[in-house]
Amino acid sequence: MDYIKQRFFEKGTVARAQIAELLSKSKDLIVDEVTVGNVLGGMRGVTSLLTLTSKLDPHEGIRYRDYKLRDLYAHLPRKKGGSEPLAEGVFYLLLTGDIPTSEEVEYIRQDWVQRSEVPPHVFKAIDALPSTSKPMTRFATGILAAATQSQFQKKHRSGLRKEDYWDSTYEDVMNMLAQLPVIASYIYRTEFCDGNPIALDPDLDWSANFAHMMGFNDEEMYRLFRMYMFIHADHEGGNVSAHTSHLVSSALSNPFYSYAAGMIGLAGPLHGYANQEVIRWINDMYKHYNKTIDNPLTLEEVTSFVNQTLDEGKVIPGYGHAVLRATDPRFTTQLEFAEKHIDNDSMIETVKMLFQVVPEVLQERGKAKNPWPNVDAISGSLLLHYGIKDYIFYTVMFGVSRALGVGTQNIWDRFLGMSIERPNSQTLDWFMDFVKEAK
């Protein structure tokens, strides 16, 4: 058996025994209760999912396995002389719960290079879309088209025991991870550049290769991509994209299908699309006050525009969160990155001004439970600074990174034999009667 697979199998066997014990001894223990408000409020906060890869704490933010993001800077292998963790190591940690050695990271890097050849019909499927298609439509289409190579689907159709589902799922997820930067950079090159794709460099790591294939070839860009891929990799199981993927996968749809479905969820403005919305909205603010880079916005103008946006019944993109109740550490990591590596950028200065203004305004208005910035409040301004100007592409970049976590969750779901999801639903009459009886 492949070395990484073997390491996963050992971990998985222990977890399988724990699941078996939970089911045999504690199946009827009550974990949580569900109120009418929960049902009508998107099941916010109701514990009903099992996710091994990461855990989101409302105040301290995401932990990949047992580690806060900040601590992983010190623990995860980096490129010689580099400061950002490598995505290959993030994947290994999410999969096994252990910090990998540099050799293990190099093993995964080479494995992904070997698996990176995308079937040609994937590009044809993307090209067949009309020019009005959004990058996320292209991305999800590309992932769906890549499903022809699914080993899980083929093996399942020809008969597969449930305890072996994970093996071909692992193969599919590894192939998908290896190919996503190729698919995404193809979309970028054909939609925003000269149309000529750039071949993968077999000596680069996954994140740097993504930058390279998009057409950016310097250490600064590689560093930015490594940081970006690292912080967006996972956010436990209940967010829209991870949960959608889990749900679709629970019907034994193959990993390409389930991840493509998740990406359609990521494309929504309340989720990953917010990273583009922030830039569009700041641009609108500049236009509104007839301001330019040389003549930046004032604090008063920013405050007034924030209030105006809220008065129009819109949300402030990049602020608020369904779980977090503090500034997202992924925001802070990016702010520190900007402070360390970037001087005098008016967009980043505006982002900082918004950080001064928005939490206070949202608190005053008293509606949003979390007035603090999330990951999307700043990510676009960094990408823009480094020359990725076509901000409608940003959610695709988020989607490439998130596959590290969601793909890993998919392998675990198969290993643990998670059931098909089928919550109960009731009619409005049922709820009205239920409340009448309860009173």
Q: Which residues bind ligand CMX (CB under 6 A)?
A: 44, 239, 270-272, 274, 310, 315-322, 367-370, 374-376
Q: Which is nearer to ligand CMX, 281 or 415 (CB)?
A: 281
Q: Which is nearer to ligand CMX, 152 or 230 (CB)?
A: 230
Q: Which is nearer to ligand CMX, 153 or 401 (CB)?
A: 401
Q: Which is nearer to ligand CMX, 105 or 140 (CB)?
A: 140
Tell me how far the alpha carbon of residue 87 is from its chain's centroid: 13
| Cα Rg of the chain, angstroms | 22
Q: Whole-angstrom Cα distance, residue 362 to residue 345?
A: 26
271 assigned to active site: yes
Q: Whole-angstrom Cα distance, residue 43 to residue 46?
A: 6
Q: Whole-angstrom Cα distance, residue 122 to residue 143?
A: 8
Tell me how far the alpha carbon of residue 92 is from its chain's centroid: 17
Q: Whole-angstrom Cα distance, residue 340 to residue 327?
A: 19
CB neighbourhood size of 258 (10 A): 29
CB of 159 to ligand CMX, least distance (A): 39
Name the DSSP class of 421. Answer: P
Are 332 and 289 spatial neighbours (Cβ–Cβ below 8 Å)? no
CB of 141 to ligand CMX, least distance (A): 22
CB of 277 to ligand CMX, least distance (A): 7
Catalytic residue among 232, 235, 243, 321: 321
CB of 140 to ligand CMX, least distance (A): 17
Residue 115's contacts (CB-CB under 8 Å, 6 or more residues apart) are: 174, 175, 178, 179
What is the chain's length? 439
Catalytic residue among 167, 234, 328, 376: 376
Question: Comparing C-alpha atoms, which of 98, 108, 394, 63 is closest to residue 224?
Answer: 394
Are 154 and 145 spatial neighbours (Cβ–Cβ below 8 Å)? no
Q: Which is nearer to ligand CMX, 138 or 321 (CB)?
A: 321
Q: Whole-angstrom Cα distance, residue 156 to residue 214?
A: 36
Q: Whole-angstrom Cα distance, residue 61 to residue 41?
A: 22
Q: Which is nearer to ligand CMX, 197 or 399 (CB)?
A: 399
243 assigned to active site: no
Q: Which is nearer to ligand CMX, 16 or 55 (CB)?
A: 55
CB of 339 to ligand CMX, least distance (A): 22
Is 28 exposed, middle or buried (CB count within 10 Å of its CB: 0-12, 13-18, 19+)?
A: exposed
Q: Whole-angstrom Cα distance, residue 318 to residue 267?
A: 14
CB of 271 to ligand CMX, least distance (A): 4
CB of 263 to ligand CMX, least distance (A): 13
Name the DSSP class of 57. Answer: E
What's the token pair of residue 338?
């900007």
Name the residue with the smallest CB distance to ligand CMX: 320
Cα angle for residues 155, 156, 162 (degrees, 5° grid):
115
> The sheet that has 54-57: what strands, in order across it?
54-57, 61-64, 67-68
66 assigned to active site: no
Catalytic residue among 167, 172, 271, 413: 271
CB of 399 to ligand CMX, least distance (A): 11
Are 379 and 229 spatial neighbours (Cβ–Cβ below 8 Å)? no
Is 64 exposed, middle or buried (CB count within 10 Å of its CB: 0-12, 13-18, 19+)?
A: buried
Q: Which is nearer to ligand CMX, 215 or 320 (CB)?
A: 320
Catalytic positions, please? Answer: 271, 321, 376
